[in-house]
Chains A and B, each alone.
Chain A
């Protein structure tokens, strides 16, 4: 019986989730666990529709094959003088096929000295990891690398 009830409640939850559109979720602001924010929606939310260019200035270091999707080290290095006039404003780390595409937004200041950020993220499956970098002049740079995941980390 318990299982039956559980399935019923799950159905109800998915029905509600289907009604709530991603834009409504965005408007809510505070992210709740398990919300669905697709990669395209996340990019649009970050850039606000501005053009994003692929750049060799952004160096993204990820493993080619991740044995465990729960712990994938990600390193982002951005070439920048980091002066008051020209610095890396923000580094966004995204996964293209995760339930929630956004992993981390890092707002940097010239005091950082280098455009660098490293962390460990979860990946639900084989996908691209994307580093989206906002420079102080408002331009967006991008670097992406595929990561092969043998065991997913969001299960």
Chain B
């Protein structure tokens, strides 16, 4: 399946101030194939394809790193907290077991 891979970063709540602790949600469109399922048409086992490393960084400095296995659901969602200390840029880098790398970033703009 050669679908265009998409990812999304969301801040919750949307409006926040300096000093607030917000949720940083990261959602990826990814098959997260376990490597044990069979393709019903061909009878062959589908090769494993899952995200195994995720790094959340603020201005290039990682604040959360994750190791993930195939037991995480398809189109995974990860949520962590972040204490807002000022303006910045959140970048999420992820790699899967086939070596595919991707990243997504979003600006952090606290008000007040």
Chain A interface residues (CB < 8 Å from chain B):
2-3, 6, 30-34, 70-72, 82, 95, 98-109, 111-122, 153-155
B residues at A contact (CB < 8 Å): 21, 23, 33-37, 43, 47-50, 52, 58, 62-74, 76-83, 97
**A-B residue pairs, 9 tightest by C-beta:** A33-B35, A33-B48, A113-B83, A113-B21, A118-B79, A114-B81, A120-B73, A105-B67, A111-B63
In the bound complex, do residue A106 and residue B71 qualify as a contact, i.e. CB atoms below 8 Å apart? no
Chain A, Cβ-Cβ closest to B77:
A120
Residues on A with C-beta less than 8 A from B48 are 32-34
- How many pairs of residues, A versus B, come closer than 8 Å at their CB atoms? 120
Known: A31-B97, A34-B48. A104 touches B72 (CB 8 A): yes
Check A108 against B80 for contact (C-beta < 8 Å).
Answer: yes
| Known A33-B47, A111-B63; contact A119-B71, beta-carbon cutoff 8 A | no
- Chain A residues with CB below 8 A from B64, complex form: 106-109, 112
Q: Compute how far the CA of A29 lies from the CA of B17 in the bound complex, rounded to whole angstroms.
A: 42
Which residues of chain B are near A112, meaning CB under 8 Å? Answer: 63-64, 80-83
- Among B62, B71, B81, B97, the residue within 8 A (CB) of A122 is B71
Q: Smallest Cβ distance from A79 to chain B, in angstroms?
A: 13
Given A111-B63, A120-B73, A34–B34 Cβ distance below 8 Å?
Answer: yes
In the complex the two chains form, is A70's CB within 8 Å of B71's CB? no
Q: Contact check: which of A3, A33, A154 meets B50 at CB < 8 Å?
A: A33
Q: How far is the CA of A128 from the CA of B79 in the complex (A)?
A: 21
The answer to whether A6 and B43 have CB atoms under 8 Å apart is yes
23 contacts between A and B (CB under 8 A): A3-B43, A31-B97, A32-B97, A33-B47, A33-B97, A70-B74, A98-B71, A99-B34, A102-B69, A103-B71, A103-B72, A105-B66, A105-B68, A106-B64, A109-B64, A112-B64, A112-B80, A112-B82, A115-B81, A116-B81, A119-B78, A122-B71, A154-B34
Bound Cα distance from A41 to B78, whole angstroms: 25
| With A31-B52, A34-B48 as contacts: A103 and B68 at CB distance below 8 Å | yes
Smallest Cβ-Cβ distance to B52: which chain A residue:
A31
Given contacts A33-B70, A103-B71, A117-B79, contact A109 B50 (CB under 8 A): no
Contact: B36 with A33, CB < 8 Å? yes
Identity of the chain A residue whose Cβ is nearest the Cβ of B50 in the assembled complex = A33
Cα–Cα distance between A146 and B52 once the two chains are bound (Å): 26
Closest chain B CB from A116 CB (angstroms): 5
Q: Nearest chain B CB to A6's CB is how many angstroms away?
A: 6
